[in-house]
Structure 1
Amino acid sequence: MKGAIVLLGLVVVGALVGAVAASAGVVRRPVVPAMFVLGDSTLDVGNNNHLPGKDVPRANQPFYGVDFPGRAIATGRFSNGYNIADFIAKYLGFEKSPLAYLVLKSRNYLIPSALTRGVSYASAGAGILDSTSAEISIPLSKQVRYFAATKAEMEAAVGRGNVSRLLAHSFFLLGVGSNDLFQSTATTQGDVIALYTALISNYTAAITDLYGMGARKFGFISVSPLGCVPAVRVLNATGACNDAMNQIAMGFTATLKSALAGLAPKLPGLVYSLGDSFAALETTFSNPQAAGYENADSACCGSGRLGAEGGYCTRNSKLCTDHDAYVYWDWIHSTQRAAELGAQALFNEGPAQVTAPISFGQLAHER
């Protein structure tokens, strides 16, 4: 059996396995050997379903997954179907996001998946800081430790050299920080600067650790306009966005952009792309109809004003008629359609590019 696994590893490194293409629906080879995902609920594909505790945020009941292709069941994604990790994986040539780490561990299938598709460590509620929802999620630092454990098992199966080559060409997707900002009590400029400093310190430490273990291609998704999610809008009598919260989120993205530009030269061979969620959603909020939406401020699945007064989507929630016409599925998370358009923006090149210094597509093809 070990010989078969070694052969599998050599095949993965030497020639990428075929998968379903992102847009055309034709079979082609993935452009990277594997995809490793770290982040929060925007990327989670089921890790939180395996965490103990009644307060753990989980998307394990209807109407989550109501539009998930083929099965229409809750999969652990905070979406009516696919999330943005799935669509990014499709653009890379895979069928969908790699499976969740805790799911793979429970099925004793971690290493075969890691060698051929990758692994998702993303966890709803996760933060860059260990203090952010640490008891009900998998914080970024622990996700990095899970990756280290995965790498050790991969090396035991197919050898250090094969794993090193695989990781150097794999796509590392990171999207985290929203929960840290949501839970922050920073109000003064000094508090905000201190928060940015702590977040960037922890984030760059995680990136450096991943780099030290062999990661070279990093795709980052910045925090979105947090002040415009239904959960925040509903606190305003007019339903308008919270500009102060958006300014803090924009400031963090700018700080991260500067930090990455400074970090990359210190880590030879590291290449990255930072996706600007604000730029990607600018047209959506200014003119929802032009972006193909009927509604950009309410939850499709929810209750009360803006569909945001009942919290998460449940089987007792009220559903909008056209799921694709809404930006938000529940009080915080996007619909499958919004996730698809978001992934398109990350791979877009040219005048409307929302990524820097290169697009996700260019990053994937870096050698």
Structure 2
Amino acid sequence: KPSNRKLRSATTTRHRFGFLSMANPKSHLFSLSFFSLLLLHFPAVSLGQTLFVFGDSLYDAGNKQFVSSNRVDSRFPPYGVTVGEATGRWSDGRIIPDYLATFMGIPEIPPILRGTADFTHGANFAIADATVLGSPPETLTLSQQVMKFSDNKNKWTAQTRSEAIYLFYIGSDDYLNYAKNNPNPSDDQKEAFVDRVITSVEAELKVIYGYGGRKFALQSLAPLGCLPAVKQASGNVQECVRLPSEMAALHNKKLMQLLVELSRQLSGFQYSFYDFFSSIQNRVIKSTTYTFETGMVACCGTGSSCSTNNVCANPEDYLFFDGKHLTQEGNLQAGHLIWGSDPEVIGPNNLRELLFIPLDTEVILADIQEARDSTRRPRQIKIESLHYQEVGISDGEPMALSS
């Protein structure tokens, strides 16, 4: 049996040589057929070469250092240990937007606050500690990130903005803070708070749509109660904490409903929605299946602190690098799923398909949609309804949760 490291090496080799990473051969064949149909019906389809990134520390490429008056840990080792330098990313190496840019054939997207950077192919507005609601210090809320995009939008032509991909991951800190301050909320209180977050997200998506954005890629929130830092704070590192994961699951369900509604309301609105929740939960429970030795603890620190004194020797063996963020290997796997996976994981389009969807059509042609529908399997229901049973995975053993 090959070692985990050999398996990862093979995956990296396939990535370097541009092979498509799909869940199964049928999905691969369908994807090729889908592109063929698109090109037959729309021979003038152009491939977007621009990526705009919004979110929190999972996507932060270095913005935090420009607004913080305190030490920013991601600017110092052991962050960046796998790539040889700390770049402001909260990982041992590359993060998800870096891989997506590579798959798109463009350079890594620079942080918007690095004023001297080349923003030809887009900008990264994500920053650590970002929230949707409130006004936390030394960061940018989602609204402020979108405002920053508005201030800089003339760096790109209207056509570039319309063909670009707008990538989002935000909300984790909203729910972690809420759970910390409200340990026993009622169901009505939980739903009311999630509705406030979703309403704010909707408003910002519409602002970007108003500036010409048409292609939106969103990532569902992780099972927040399974983050090593959250488990450590609860006093039981072996069990996921129920409330943060419940809030994340409810958020994900309502976010999916919002995207479906926006695609009906707004002409030309297209989207991709990645089930990050299940991807992380599967890797926490069945780590070795996904080439990790563990998904329960972090490579660096005991869950809340990370320094050169307590970093592991082989980050690629871990799902989490520190208490809240993925290793480069975890980011690579997520990037592959966003880029080229099938409807079990991402829908109604993966990112590669989203790039090819024409801007001048209201809906995908009936024969293309019929071809897509014929490939759907029962597990796609998870993407469309996001019914997380007991905040656990639907096709395996239940996740241990504590209250």
TM-score, with length taken from structure 2? 0.74
How many residue pairs end up in the alignment? 315
Q: CA deviation at 1:93?
A: 1.5
5 Å-filtered alignment, 1:317-356, equals 317-350=309-342, 353-356=344-347
Q: CA deviation at 1:293?
A: 0.7
| Counterpart for residue 112 of structure 2 | 101
5 Å-filtered alignment, 1:1-367, equals 23-25=15-17, 31-54=47-70, 58-68=73-83, 72-96=84-108, 98-103=109-114, 105=115, 107=116, 109=117, 113-114=118-119, 116-131=120-135, 134-152=136-154, 154=155, 163-184=157-178, 185-186=181-182, 187-234=185-232, 235-237=234-236, 239-302=238-301, 307-308=302-303, 311-315=304-308, 317-350=309-342, 353-367=344-358
Is the contact between residue 220 and residue 275 of structure 2 (CA under 8 Å) also seen in structure 1?
Answer: yes
Q: CA deviation at 1:92?
A: 1.4
Q: CA deviation at 1:340?
A: 0.4
CA, structure 1 residues 267+333, in 2 after alignment: closer, same or farther (shift >3 Å)? same
CA, structure 1 residues 22+48, in 2 after alignment: closer, same or farther (shift >3 Å)? farther
Is the contact between residue 262 and residue 269 of structure 2 (CA under 8 Å) also seen in structure 1?
Answer: no
Which stretch shifts more, 279-288 or 122-131? Answer: 279-288
CA distance in 1, matches of 2:237, 2:229: 13
CA distance in 2, matches of 1:139, 1:57: 18
CA distance in 1, matches of 2:213, 2:81: 35
Q: CA deviation at 1:126?
A: 0.3
Partner SS state of residue 45, structure 1: coil
Q: CA deviation at 1:286?
A: 2.4
Partner SS state of residue 196, structure 1: helix
Q: CA deviation at 1:216?
A: 0.8
Q: CA deviation at 1:283?
A: 2.7
| Residue identity opposite 1:267 in structure 2 | L
Q: Which runs of 4+ in 1 moved over 4 A?
A: none
Superposed CA deviations along residues 312-355 of structure 1, whole A, max 9, x for unmatched, are 4223x31212110100101111100000001111123336x311
Q: CA deviation at 1:181?
A: 0.6
Q: CA deviation at 1:79?
A: 0.3
Superposed CA deviations along residues 163-196 of structure 1, whole A, max 9, x for unmatched, are 1111111111111010111111342112111111
CA distance in 2, matches of 1:50, 1:263: 34
TM-score, with length taken from structure 1? 0.81
Q: CA deviation at 1:136?
A: 2.1
Partner SS state of residue 318, structure 1: coil
Q: CA deviation at 1:25?
A: 4.3
| Residue identity opposite 1:75 in structure 2 | T
Superposed CA deviations along residues 281-303 of structure 1, whole A, max 9, x for unmatched, are 2431221111111111111011x
Root-mean-square deviation over aligned CA pairs = 2.1
